[in-house]
Amino acid sequence: MTLKRPILEVNQLSVNFKIKNKKSLFFAKPLTLKAVNNVSFQLYQGETLGVVGESGCGKSTLARAIIGLVEASAGEILWLGKNLAHQSQKEWKDTRKDIQMIFQDPLASLNPRMNIGEIIAEPLEIYQPHLSKAEVKQKVQDMMIKVGLLPNVINRYPHEFSGGQCQRIGIARALIIEPKIIICDEPVSALDVSIQAQVVNLLKSLQKEMGLSLIFIAHDLSIVKHISDRVLVMYLGNAVELGTDEQVFNHTQHPYTQALMSAVPIPDPRLERNKTIQLLEGDLPSPINPPSGCVFRTRCPKVADCCAKTVPSLVGGGNHLVACLMVNSVG
């Protein structure tokens, strides 16, 4: 794949939330929860960027900040070189058409009072109001066929469908206005394993057909490896490793990524029995009071004195970047 000018750039993005301090006086200052901390990456036309990390690492908050569902505290998000924060309401509405999202819970993301024809057609009413009812219905039925739904179920309601079918409805709704980017926030985590493969393969097929760029957020590293061109690993709101799927999966450098990879099942039973899983000691620190220096140092097997004093930058040779003082000092 040839990478040219990025269509989306995220530079030093941070998202902080103010939390009421229940353990202090009434007039005490609220606490700051650092959900996303100085994260940077680029997304290119037609590629898939996988975003991985354990629960609470900021993956979903990062996605919601990009799409405007939560406000960024610092940094910038550039769409085709233009800062989204500087756009007017009308300009943002036009940009929003090109950036759509697929949510984790397929049924909860659909309005139970609307039939699926109305659900899929809703974006057309906003962005293409000039279309006649016949044209809207035709577009909806064409999209239903693309995502593997029969057009004759257009008048049924979400509760009449399985989880996998509801997710296909969500995909159809996101694609009906032909966006350039789809943000997939753990789109298969609520589905059975066999259905997960079908949905992932559907996304890959639609990506190739429509020239989509994907940000694919997931816990399951085997799925991320199957669908991603590049992978961003996050820990406690920070980006700790970024590279191609080959680099991150086969030439892992950050200790946290190595621990994640050691837990990925191996198809060969003999290798699976004999592999060593790198268990992380301790619990995930609170994002309200993260460790000084490297946020991973409290659980890192390679920790040194300097890790408590210096915040590591995401650096490295070529396009494989790692935020680890020990790795970068050796390199």
The pLDDT score that the predictor gives to residue 330 is 59
Task: List 272's β-bridge partners, or say none.
Answer: none
Residue 93 pLDDT > 60, yes or no?
yes
**Mean pLDDT over residues 83-89, rounded?**
89
The structure tokens 């179920």 sit at: 153
Q: What are phi and psi of 289, to 5 degrees?
A: -135, 70
The 10s digit of each residue's pLDDT in 29-54 is: 888 999 999 999 999 999 999 999 98
Other Cβ atoms within 10 Å of 245 Cβ, number: 17
HSE value, Cβ hemisphere, 13 Å, CA-based, for 63: 26
**Mean pLDDT over residues 121-132, rounded?**
94
Residue 3 pLDDT > 60, yes or no?
no
Mean pLDDT score across all residues of the chain: 90
**Mean pLDDT over residues 91-106, rounded?**
90
The 10s digit of each residue's pLDDT in 158-178 is: 999 999 999 999 999 999 999
Residue 227 pLDDT > 60, yes or no?
yes
Between 20-29, 39-48, 62-71, 156-165, the lowest mean confidence (pLDDT) is in 20-29
Q: Can you give the pTM of this predicted structure?
A: 0.91
Contacts of 310 (CB under 8 A, 6+ apart): 293, 294, 325
Residue type, 93: K
* Structure-token pair, residue 72: 């960024």
DSSP sequence for 214-238: EEEE-S-HHHHHHH-SEEEEEETTE
* Structure-token pair, residue 74: 């610092």
Contacts of 42 (CB under 8 A, 6+ apart): 6, 8, 9, 10
**Mean pLDDT over residues 143-151, rounded?**
96
What's the count of helices (H) and strands (E) in the chain, helices before strands?
11, 11
The pLDDT score that the predictor gives to residue 24 is 61
Residue 42: strand, helix, or coil? strand
104-108: long-range contacts at Cβ-Cβ below 8 A with a sequence spacing of 24 or more? 104/60, 104/185, 104/186, 104/187, 104/189, 104/190, 105/190, 106/163, 106/164, 106/166, 106/167, 106/169, 106/170, 106/187, 106/190, 106/191, 107/158, 107/159, 107/163, 107/166
Higher-confidence position of 88 and 238 = 238
**Residue 19 banded pLDDT, cuts 50, 70, 90:** confident
Residue 319 pLDDT > 70, yes or no?
yes
Q: How far is CA 330 from CA 256, 316, 325, in A?
A: 17, 11, 9
Topology at the third CATH level for domain 8-89+215-330: Rossmann fold (3.40.50)
CB 253 within 8 A of CB 238: no
The pLDDT score that the predictor gives to residue 26 is 65
